[in-house]
Amino acid sequence: MKRLEDKILAEGLALSETILKVDSFINHQVDPILMYEIGQDFADHFKNSGITKVLTIESSGIAPAVFTAMALNVPMIILKKQTSKILKDHILQTNITSFTKGTSYELTLSKDYVSDADTVLIIDDFLANGEAAMGAIRLAEAAGAKIAGVGILIEKAFQNGRQRIISAGYHVYSQARVSKLGKDIIEFTDAD
């Protein structure tokens, strides 16, 4: 998605060979028009997938996911990050370890909102090693849903997240695929 790549080149900050800061339009300050366009692009890509729910992980995925859900005319579900296990019949949880941040949390979904009648699209802002996306897939499948695919704003194509998700049998669509980061360097790739 050229518009997102252009924005990343204009405002993204490559802090190291692995860290890309996009606080000015995605993670802290958010550009609503860009989020609307991102939602339209995801909806267009997945329009024939029979999606009934859009799932995302709090909190940076919410803005793009809610516009995607609106464009597809389906509800959005926010998978919550809980610090501890909740033991209730209608609650599903799976443990996620963020290697980037060195933290761990319980990704949480209520069975009230996803069932075996659903086909879900998972939206997240970043794809690195695929921990969060694979956790969201585990939760949706535990609730009985089919997975239409994973939609990502910014993929770190030099990490193994895409390979991991594809190897597990799921579709990944990334709007911007960053192949290289470094001081004053942000490069993209189109290749799978």
Q: Between 69 and 133, name the residue whose CB sits nearer to a copy of itself.
A: 69
Closest CA to 157 of 16, 18, 43: 18
67 binds a copy of itself (CB under 8 A): yes
Angle at 130 between CA 133 and CA 112, to 5 degrees: 15
Rounded distance, CA 13 to CA 34, Å? 18
- Sketch the per residue contact string, 106 through 125, with a copy of itself: x for CB under 8 A, - otherwise: ----x-xx------------
Kindly tell me which residue out of 3, 5, 70, 158 binds a copy of itself, with binding defined by CB under 8 A.
70
24 binds a copy of itself, rule: CB under 8 A: yes
Q: Is 78 in the site for a copy of itself (CB under 8 A)?
A: yes
User: By CB under 8 A, what part of segment 33-52 binds a copy of itself?
Assistant: 33, 35-36
Site for a copy of itself in 138-167 (CB under 8 A): none
Among 6, 17, 23, 44, binds a copy of itself (CB under 8 A): 23
State which residue, 28 or 47, has the beta carbon closest to a copy of itself.
Answer: 28
Contact between 59 and a copy of itself by CB under 8 A: the answer reads yes
- Give residue 17's region: left, alpha or beta (phi > 0; psi -120 to 50): alpha
Smallest gap, in angstroms, from Cβ of residue 172 to a copy of itself?
23
Using left for φ > 0, alpha for ψ between -120 and 50, and beta otherwise, residue 47 falls in alpha
Taking the C-alpha atoms of residue 144 and residue 141, their distance in angstroms, rounded to an integer, is 5
Nearest CA-CA partner of 150 in 120, 116, 114, 115: 120
Residue 72 has φ and ψ, to the nearest 5°, of -90, -5
Q: How far is the CB of 64 from a copy of itself (least distance, A)?
A: 9
Report the relative pairing of strands 103-110 and 119-127 from DSSP bridges: unpaired
Binding site for a copy of itself (CB under 8 A): 23-24, 27-33, 35-36, 58-60, 62-63, 66-67, 69-70, 73, 75-78, 80, 110, 112-113
